[in-house]
Amino acid sequence: MSFKVLLCGGSGLLGQELLRNIPEGVEVWAPSSTEINISNKAVVLDELRSYQPSLIINAAAYTNVDAAEENQDLAYAVNRDGPENLGLYAVEAGVSVIHISTDYVFGGEKCTPYIETDAPNPINVYGKSKLAGERALQQVCEKSLILRTSWLFGEYGDSFIRRFIVLMFEEESIDVVSDQYSALTRTDALSAYIWLVAERIRLCLPILWGVVHFSGGKLCSKYDLVKEVFHILMQENGNLKCKVVNPVSHDFFKNTARRPFFSLLKTNENSIRLLSFGNYEKMNKSVLKIYRELILENKTIIGK
């Protein structure tokens, strides 16, 4: 009998990685947001009672940080009510929830990595709604694991690195914020960790429920990351239209939402061994894979 997993957010960056690495003996249903609106309690309970998953993985979220300031109701519906509704079913059915959260639950006041017991202090609606989701889930479902992560990057789906790769073939110069710091987390590392936890749940092995930090670990700014990508692509193709990557202050873009200046997460020691392929210094292969895919998708946009 297969181990049935409901995956919410299967079309996202992490969701696509999870779907590409489904372990043997696991059946995954990854409905779209139109098939299951997780903010609708009645729909969630009805659909999940029909499917009867053994585990719920929630990678769905409203992640547009600036738009959340203007769409607070929607952000809270997805990021708070969604996890709560999934947790209500989990308690009813006696199953578990793995929920993905964010470093943005912290305000950036520290200068050392945040640990799981640090008091959250989000400074934007996105972070506040994600924290509300963590708390709502924990209040209704004891068997929940909340994985906080940061700056996801993978070979599949949209990411800020993919967007900057496109810009390097369209713009002569790129401005990137250099005074906000966190860590890049590869989706293959996080996906591997999630499936390991799922296997422990399937085998009824002990799980430390609660909040766990899983992040790339190496402190960097997005400017550091984009500069690294720039160097990788310059070695691959010297005909980039972009000739310079400029470091700029956080207030250069006049964003609607504030971002924390420092949100580095101290990764749980049990997760460290999986991060050997999560370090941004080892992302050359993925960057080049994305670059080559973009060329095949749209040769008129990407440099010749």
Altogether, the residues listed in the chain come to a count of: 304
- Check if 89 is active-site: no
C-alpha angle 99/212/62, rounded to 5°?
35
Structure tokens at 283: 């992302």
* Residue among 62, 104, 126, 181 flagged as catalytic: 126
Residues in Cβ contact with 95 at an 8 Å cutoff, skipping those fewer than 6 apart: 53, 54, 55, 56, 89, 143
For residues 223 and 69, the answer to whether their CB atoms sit within 8 Å is no
98 burial via Cβ count (<10 Å: 0-12, 13-18, 19+): buried
Mind telling me the catalytic residues?
126
